[in-house]
Amino acid sequence: MRCSFFRLCSLTVAMLTAGAARASDLVSFDSGRYVVGSLQQRLARERGEAVARPPAERIRGYLSKPDGAGPFAAVVHLHGCGGLSDERRIAAEKQFTALGYVTLVVDSFSTRGITEACSGRGALPSRQADAIGALEYLATLPFVDPKRIALVGYSQGGDAALSIASASEVPVFEVPEELKYRAAVAYYPMCGAAGDELAIPTLILAGEYDDWARASECTRLLRRWDHNSAALWVTIFPEAYHDFDNPKATTHGVRYFGHWLRFNAEAADAAARRTRDFLASELSN
């Protein structure tokens, strides 16, 4: 059985430069473009108009790489609804680059003038489109192996990762057919964002006491998941809350947009090991 269910039962930034990236370069790239739907295409043809492609937004990210020429496997990091903090960015760069991966930490908010997307008061950018744009950007770099790129998302970024990982009968984004993520990891996501069928192997890491992205949704996903699709692993950490791997949530916990966040060192370490082992398995040649 391919599925296993475990109940464990932040740097000076260099500006964009041409060529290979140094440790933590600030880079910019286009978000992914959605495919123009068949109805829009038909209406445009009937009016004798050219089919208008959806605009792509320019966003930025932070690129770091291991020493050497590569090509390396790569990890795209998607932040949560509170935005990208320096601490989280630096931690991600250290974590994944130390494992031998090129790391692209996506900043979905700063170029759009967004402070947060937790309250629901403002427009929510397409995090999935940003993930696709990051994939396309990495595939252009000579030191990245385009066939070995994984997506790791946290909270709202995890929701996007699950959406990207889900199988779709029709193409959603303008992206070459052969270019896709190899695997996905979602930290404390809303598991309802995933479809019953998965297109790529997926690891979900959730907290038992999470009152924002409830672990019960992930157990339901596990039950409805199509075993004939790509593999799914769900790990639920006992007595862990939302943001369990974020030291800023403190061991005493903090209230954030009406939800309880709390750092759990044991769960954070176990999740990092699980992520390490999963990526090593899925991104091997």
**61 - beta bridge partners?**
27, 106
For the stretch 162-171, pLDDT in tens is 999 999 888 8
> Residue 55 has what pLDDT?
73
Question: What pLDDT, on a 0 to 100 scale, did the predictor assign at position 177?
Answer: 84
Confidence of residue 122 (pLDDT cuts 50, 70, 90): low
Give the E-state strand segments of 49-124 in sequence order. Answer: 58-64, 72-78, 102-107
Rounded CA-CA distance 262/249 in Å is 5
pLDDT at 45: 57
Provide the token pair at 69: 């020429």
Q: Where does the pLDDT of residue 104 fall: very low under 50, low under 70, confident under 90, or very high at 90 and above? A: very high
User: pTM for the complete prediction?
Assistant: 0.87
Pairing of strands 58-64, 102-107: antiparallel
* Domains of the chain, residue spans: 5-282
Handedness of CA 261, 264, 265, 268 (dihedral sign): negative
What was the pLDDT predicted at 10?
Answer: 32
Q: What's the pLDDT tens digit per position in 41-82?
A: 555 455 666 656 667 789 999 999 999 998 999 999 999 999
Q: CB 44: neighbour CB atoms within 10 A?
A: 14
Provide the pLDDT for residue 121.
Answer: 76
pLDDT for 19 equals: 38
Lowest average pLDDT, out of 13-22, 47-56, 88-97, goes to 13-22
Percent of the chain with pLDDT over 70: 85
pLDDT (average), residues 156-185: 93
Give me the chain's average pLDDT, please: 88
Lowest mean pLDDT of 83-87, 116-120, 154-158, name the range: 116-120
| Separation CA 28–CA 260 (nearest Å) | 34
Dist CA 106 CA 61 (whole Å): 4
- For the segment(s) 5-282, the CATH number from 2.80.10.50, 3.40.449.10, 3.40.50.2000, 3.40.50.1820 is 3.40.50.1820
Question: Does residue 27 contact residue 137 with C-beta atoms inside 8 Å?
Answer: yes
pLDDT of residue 17: 35
d(CA 35, CA 56): 12
Mean pLDDT for 146-163 is 98
Write down the pLDDT at residue 110.
93
Q: What is the mean pLDDT of residues 229-246?
A: 98
Cα Rg of the chain (Å, integer): 19
CA 274 to chain centre: 16
Residue 15 or 147, more confident: 147
| pLDDT of 221 higher than 70 | yes
| Residue scoring higher pLDDT (19 or 156) | 156
176-185 mean pLDDT: 94
